[in-house]
Structure 1
Amino acid sequence: MTDNTQLWALWKQLKSFFPVWSLIPSSFWTPGAWGYIGVDFLSGFRKNPSTIKAFALLDGVDDATFDALSALANLNARRQDQMLRAIILGYLTIPLSIMALLAELAGDSVMTFAKTRPDVVIQIVSVATVGPAMFMMGHWRSRQIVSVLDLIRIERGQAPFTALELREE
């Protein structure tokens, strides 16, 4: 395996521990979810099944590969953040502004439409809700991956590799 092949294989396996679909169910039963009560947000997080799997996956991985994986995770999180901002703007801010303007200019027509076409209104509201919610959950998971890698880095006694990893937008 070349270094890049190993890196991308590790990335693929690591991200499989954090599926977006499981975020809501896992927020009720994981130790990390229950750790959001109180002052210590780390002890439960360290006991999460996904965190334990990530520790096992990266046990024995050399520092350079770990640093590259961490840089990938941070880049992914920044790209997720960019997309989330675009989705919030495109799916929420602009449509809600247009609806507010229409309600102000032609309130009776908007209400008549909503009453006569509730199926269309439900579809519009569903898309405007589910789309951003899915991206928000993906963003949460991408940040969770970065946090797990930070925890692993701390336990390994390894300093941050680059300013790229430390950068917050």
Structure 2
Amino acid sequence: MDGATVEREAGDAAELWRLWRALHRLFPTWSMLPESFVTPGAWGYIGVDFVSGFRRNPSTLKAFALLDGVDDALFDGLTALAALNARRQDQLLRAVILLYLTVPLSILALVAELAGDSLMGFVKAHQQLTLTLAITVTLAPLGYLMSSWRSKQLIGVLDLIRIERRHQPYTALELRED
């Protein structure tokens, strides 16, 4: 490869990562709960059409504006990044569910069965610690679940853009079911 080709590819990669940062910032995890009460997409979960309200969400509209005029190769790269991100989110979510929920609840059930009175005595004697642990074990997986949901929402927005651009799906990985 000549120097101009290498330079062009480096510029394309830099633009891809710039777009990725700008795109995923449109879907912050922290805003999912409040938005689930006020966006057209949230209200669109009533009835048959789950897509029209989703298309009218403010984050969707901003994504369409951000990607307006982006060439097909760059859009395909962005879609591939979003798909990779969602797969990695799913992997982490499974691990978190296993480590934060399944294992502690199994241990708790075993201890309650073997030494229920002692467990209740510990809970009563250490209510603050017990409450802190319960909140942590609940909120950590909830945060990862919301993040995973947002990663799939981002893919959904890219799917809407692709549909409106009349593109075919980019890779077989994106076609597979969850």
Which TM class, normalised by the smaller chain length?
over 0.9
Q: How does 1:12-27 map to 2 (within 5 A)?
A: 12-27=21-36
Q: How does 1:1-40 map to 2 (within 5 A)?
A: 2-40=11-49
One-letter code aligned to 1:15: H
Indicate the SS of the match to 2:37.
helix
2:115 is the counterpart of 1:95: no
Indicate the SS of the match to 1:95.
helix
Indicate the SS of the match to 1:40.
coil
1:17-41 residue CA offsets vs partner (Å, 9 max, x unmatched): 0000000000000000000111100
2:58 is the counterpart of 1:49: yes
Root-mean-square deviation (Å): 0.9
Q: How many angstroms apart in 2 are the aligned matches of 1:103 and 1:25?
A: 37
Q: CA deviation at 1:165?
A: 2.0
What is the TM-score when the length of structure 1 is the normalising length? 0.98
How many pairs align? 169
Spell out structure 1 runs of 4+ moving beyond 3 A: none
Please say which structure displays the higher CA radius of gyration: 2
Counterpart in 1 of 2:125? Answer: 116
Q: How many angstroms apart in 2 are the aligned matches of 1:58 and 1:168?
A: 25
2:160 is the counterpart of 1:151: yes
Indicate the SS of the match to 1:2.
helix
Structure 1 portions without partners, runs of 5+: none
What is the TM-score when the length of structure 2 is the normalising length? 0.93
One-letter code aligned to 2:96: I
Q: CA deviation at 1:163?
A: 1.3
Q: How many angstroms apart in 1 are the aligned matches of 2:174 and 2:46?
A: 28
Q: How many angstroms apart in 2 are the aligned matches of 1:72 and 1:119?
A: 42
Counterpart in 2 of 1:162? Answer: 171
